[in-house]
């Protein structure tokens, strides 16, 4: 039978036409449609099933709920037919009531969200929020990396650099472990990151030329240096004027086993010590901030230090 004839027959039922008028404006659950139309679930579900059979609506499952909306693949010819049918009954009192009830449902949705966020305001970072993690936020932030040259000093396998390389012009990973350099090089090759290069070297004698990068990173590497000030001085040397140094490292702590467990040379640094390292090296606009603290013992706290190399 002609598809347009089937649709005309479908539109001849008042309930189906009212349903189409609603789902053409907003995706709605069966429960919301019940509340808007004041009808039982079985009646609404059976009419929606007929609308789905003629490919006018589509459904989406979310847990125990089913949400219905107008099918996006509806042809322009059919869409014109639907609009004409819906417009023809737009002035009927019952359709006006449907529109008012729909607006009430949408306002109810907004109030529910507003009440939730009002309730957790000031506590959002302290409670579980599905999909909200520092890992996810980190991936988002790393996508903002401009096309610059970066040196990851004491990079290890270069997890951060593997992500930065997707946007940066070039990334150099420096590490004093031959095996780390080997593994990192294999990962870069596997991921097709031709702008990511690993070099064997020490953060106190970085194998890069003067003023060759725009950003230097020391991520949990400085506490492995024999002479932290020398490492910061080296970062200053390889940075171009206007370049930036970022340091992530542990705040000073008393967990002595870190020397044995993690080969740490220093048990973190005071904020004042990191600040002094950068200022002595020649950095300006130095900032040191606590950015994270582990909830379990020994409650390691992470500091973020930053500084700019002067333009002159």
Domain with CATH 3.40.50.150 in the chain: 134-308
pTM over 0.75: no
The pLDDT tens digits of the residues spanning 139-148 come to 677 777 889 9
Per-residue pLDDT band for 159 (boundaries 50, 70, 90) equals confident
Tell me if residue 272 falls in helix, strand or coil.
helix
- Inter-CA distances, 227 with 7, 203, 271, Å: 79, 10, 17
Angle at Cα 3 formed by Cα 71 and Cα 28, nearest 5°?
25
- Looking at per-residue pLDDT, the higher value among 169 and 109 belongs to 169
d(CA 113, CA 60): 21
Query: Is pLDDT of 33 > 60?
Result: yes
The residue assigned the tokens 């808007």 is 36
- State pLDDT tens for residues 255-307: 999 888 888 999 999 999 999 999 999 999 999 999 889 989 999 999 999 99
Mean pLDDT of the chain: 89
pLDDT digits (tens, 9 = 90+) for 57-104: 999 988 888 899 999 888 898 899 899 999 999 999 999 999 999 999
Question: Top-level CATH class of 3-120?
Answer: mainly alpha
Q: What CATH number is given for 134-308 in this structure? A: 3.40.50.150
Residue 135, pLDDT score: 67
Contacts 24+ apart (CB under 8 A), 231-237: 231/153, 231/203, 231/204, 232/277, 232/278, 232/280, 232/281, 233/281, 234/153, 234/203, 234/204, 234/205, 234/206, 235/151, 235/153, 235/206, 235/281, 236/281, 236/282, 236/283, 236/309, 237/206, 237/210, 237/211
* Nearest partner of 286 among 273, 302, 267, judged by Cα: 273
Q: Where exactly does CATH 1.10.10.10 map onto the chain?
A: 3-120
pLDDT class of 1 with cuts at 50, 70, 90: very low
Residues 75 and 88: their CA atoms lie apart, in Å, by: 20
Please, what sign has the CA dihedral across residues 160, 162, 168, 172? positive
């Amino acid at each position: 039978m002609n598809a347009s004839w089937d649709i005309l027959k479908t539109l001849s039922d008042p309930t189906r036409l009212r349903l189409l008028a609603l789902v053409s404006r907003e995706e709605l659950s069966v429960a919301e449609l019940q509340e808007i139309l004041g009808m039982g679930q079985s009646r609404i579900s059976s009419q929606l099933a007929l609308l789905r059979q003629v490919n006018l609506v589509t459904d989406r499952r979310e847990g125990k709920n089913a949400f219905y909306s107008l099918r996006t693949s509806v042809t322009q010819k059919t869409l014109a037919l639907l609009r004409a049918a819906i417009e023809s009954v737009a002035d009927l009192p019952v359709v006006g009531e449907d529109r008012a009830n729909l607006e009430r449902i949408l306002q109810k949705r907004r109030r529910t969200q507003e009440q939730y966020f009002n309730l957790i305001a000031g506590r959002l970072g302290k409670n579980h929020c599905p999909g909200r993690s520092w890992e996810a936020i980190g991936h988002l932030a790393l996508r903002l990396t401009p096309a610059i040259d970066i040196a990851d000093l004491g990079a290890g396998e270069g997890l951060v650099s593997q992500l930065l390389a997707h946007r940066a012009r070039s990334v150099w990973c420096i590490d004093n472990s031959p095996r780390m350099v080997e593994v990192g090089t294999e990962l870069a090759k596997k991921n097709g990151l031709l702008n990511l290069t690993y070099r064997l070297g020490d953060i106190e004698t970085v194998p890069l030329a003067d003023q060759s990068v725009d950003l230097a990173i020391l991520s949990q590497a400085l506490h492995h240096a024999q002479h932290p000030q020398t490492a910061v001085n080296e970062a200053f040397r390889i940075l171009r004027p206007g370049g930036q140094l970022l340091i992530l490292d542990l705040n000073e702590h008393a967990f002595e086993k870190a020397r044995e467990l993690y080969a740490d040379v220093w048990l973190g640094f005071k904020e004042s010590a990191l600040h002094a390292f950068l200022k002595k090296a020649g950095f300006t606009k130095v900032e040191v901030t606590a950015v994270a603290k582990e909830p379990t013992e020994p409650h390691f706290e992470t500091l973020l230090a930053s500084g700019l190399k002067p333009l002159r």
